[in-house]
Amino acid sequence: MSNQPFLNEKISIDTSDHVADRARFVAQLQHLVNTAEEKAAARQHPKGKGTARERIAALVDSGSFVETGQFMGGNVAEGFSGAAVITGLGRIDGRQVAVYAQDFSVRGGTLGEAEGNKIIAIMQQALKLRIPVIGMLDSGGARIQDGVVALGQYGRIFKLSVEASGVIPQISLILGPCAGGAVYSPALTDFIVMTKANSHMFVTGPDVVRATTGEEVSFADLGGAEVHNHRSGVAHYLADDEADAIDFTRALLSYLPSNSAQAAPHYDYAPEGVSAEVADLVPASSKQPYDMTEVIAQITDYGEFLQVHEGFARSILTGFAAFEGRAVGIVANQPMVDAGTLDVDASEKAARFVQFCDAFNIPVVTLVDVPGYRPGTEQEQAGIIRRGAKLIWSYASATVPLVTVVLRKAYGGAEIVMGSKSLGGDMVYAWPSAEIAVLGADGAVSILHRRELAAAREAGNEAEVRGALMADYTEKNVNPLLSVARGEIDAIIDPDQTRATIVASLAALATKTATPAHARKHGNMPM
């Protein structure tokens, strides 16, 4: 795509100090910007997409955006407004952020030398100012005409994103195509938001797939928003449209500090009829499902819970909430999906979330109701040992306050990895009816009493004997009493005191600090 002039006449300015000339020059520059925006709108609006400037205006507080490098990469005298990306600083709810938005109306939003320089500059500025950086991506990828120069720019952006990781929050909004090596730019950020209709991400597109494998696949099936939110786990939020994507991003930022040196946000809180009655939401039978989001809504401020990765690995919940104005991250098993078991995807989802919270000083509240790891050949061959270990790593290395409540059950290795005391949990509680054991009664009896069961089978009363043995095992082992006696649980609490207990624990742990036990360059997390 060539640089087509937006003005009929070239800009020719006398550099002598005449007010009229300066005013005319400024007017022509503004006309150039307006004309470029009209062209962008004509191209984007029919697709249901906003222009780069419209997207930025919707994201930041009104009148707060200050553009940087406005005409960089352009030729004003020829009427070409500049690079295919807009960068600058703005405010969201009064807090400063850095923003860049790719402009698909200019060369398909492709990235060349000028675009790379602008993105690198705004990311460097974000690091200097210690503020979040938000990228709004809508691009055809690397500009072919720029060749290896474009590839080198992507490499520099990747490296800078890694340097910024854990220092400032990084959020990517995929609002159009994102393909080839370009996908690794958002992949390195903390959160990815995609829209249902227009966004897609893939390393190799349908044409390449068809040419190399013979497979016929659509853009949506290969790398659409549904795929990355529900199957691959690449994306963290599936937005209905651009407005929804921007609303989610603004809400997400409200729970995050601007950088890793700041504490998590703490807002004024005015109680508004928060209900502490949660016991009725959780069935007594440990095998009966219920919706953990309803429990969360009963104990958090205003019943709010901002889920991330909602459509992926749905047997576990991750997201942000607040307790008396204090922002927290929540990790919770979801008994409504696969009984709340842990598998490879759930382990990685929770591990990544805990790691993010720890990087940005956000306390983690863990709500446990887990029967164990999902059994089977599929999970073992998918690497549950290696991938499940990531959750252990994240909790064990976390230095933020960790508050855990066992609601109904916690069995086997899954009990350990869900924010247990042995793994670093600061304050761990259990409801009186909680089942905490290595195995459930049925499995334990089958192992411990094989001979008795075999004899009962021959005698014809196996069911009666098994029932008695299970009842005895449950009474002696499947309860929180042993855990309390050994210090693995700090207290047994009434379900209706769950919110009050979490609030008190967070307040008590507010000044928690941690010093590494051993000097090292970095650990070697199972990848």
Instruction: For the chain, list residues with pLDDT below 70.
Output: 1-20, 25, 28-29, 31-32, 75-81, 272-276
* Phi, psi of 454, rounded to the nearest 5 degrees: -65, -40
Amino acid at 94: G
Residue 25: the pLDDT is 67
Alpha carbons 303 and 274: distance in angstroms, whole number: 8
Radius of gyration of the chain (CA): 27
Which one, of 191, 119, 102, lies nearest residue 160 by Cα? 119
The per-residue pLDDT for 389 is 97
Q: Which residues pair with 238 in a beta bridge?
A: 194
What are the DSSP E strand ranges found in 248-359?
A: 306-307, 316-323, 326-333
pTM: 0.91
- Residues labelled as active-site residues: 180-181, 413-414
CA-CA-CA-CA torsion for 328, 334, 335, 336, nearest 10 degrees? 130
Tell me which residue of 180, 197, 196, 165 sits closest to 356, measured CA to CA. 165
**Cα separation of 131 and 113, whole Å?**
25
Residue 351, both tokens:
């591990």
Contact status, residue 153 vs residue 111, Cβ threshold 8 Å: yes
Strands 177-179 and 306-307: what pairing? unpaired
Pairing of strands 316-323, 326-333: antiparallel
The sign of the torsion formed by the CA atoms of 305, 306, 308, 310 equals positive
pLDDT for 410 equals 95
pLDDT reported for residue 287 = 87
